[in-house]
Amino acid sequence: GPKVLQIPSHQIIDMGQMVTLNCDPVSNHLYFYWYKQILGQQMEFLVNFYNGKVMEKSKLFKDQFSVERPDGSYFTLKIQPTALEDSAVYFCASSPTGASAETLYFGSGTRLTVL
């Protein structure tokens, strides 16, 4: 089936550094999401993105977070600067048009460890 690719699968960085998580959504999908999961528990919504704009962001999407998808390339989540509490697995997802009935297609996640 359709695949969402996330690069890298693991990232270890020192607190205060910048990190960029990359997501290659399903081809022709227009709606993109980032979710944060800590210790295999709840999938917490961070942000969704459509047509070059953030549509909604949660309280977890701090000022240090930003997303973009320049020229149809990777959909990225940037954290600058990172904090210890940013350690988690970050999942990217996409859907064709963002219609309410559509399912989300998830990547395999990027495990971020902030030291």
Partner 1 sequence: AQKVTQTQTSISVMEKTTVTMDCVYETRDSSYFLFWYKQTASGEIVFLIRQDSYKKENATEGHYSLNFQKPKSSIGLIITATQIEDSAVYFCAMREAISNTNKVVFGTGTRLQVLP
Determine, following the binding rule CB under 8 A, whether residue 104 of this chain makes contact with partner 1: yes
**What span, in angstroms and rounded, lies between the C-alpha atoms of 30 and 69?**
11
Task: Check residue 28 for interaction with partner 1 (CB under 8 A).
Answer: no
For partner 1, the binding residue among 41, 51, 59, 71 (CB under 8 A) is 41
- E strands along the chain, which residues? 5-7, 10-13, 19-24, 31-37, 43-50, 53-57, 65-68, 75-79, 88-95, 105-106, 110-114
Min dist. Cβ of residue 22 to partner 1 (A): 17
Which residues bind to partner 1, rule: CB under 8 A? 31, 33, 35, 40-45, 48, 50, 55-56, 89, 91, 95, 98-101, 103-106, 108-109
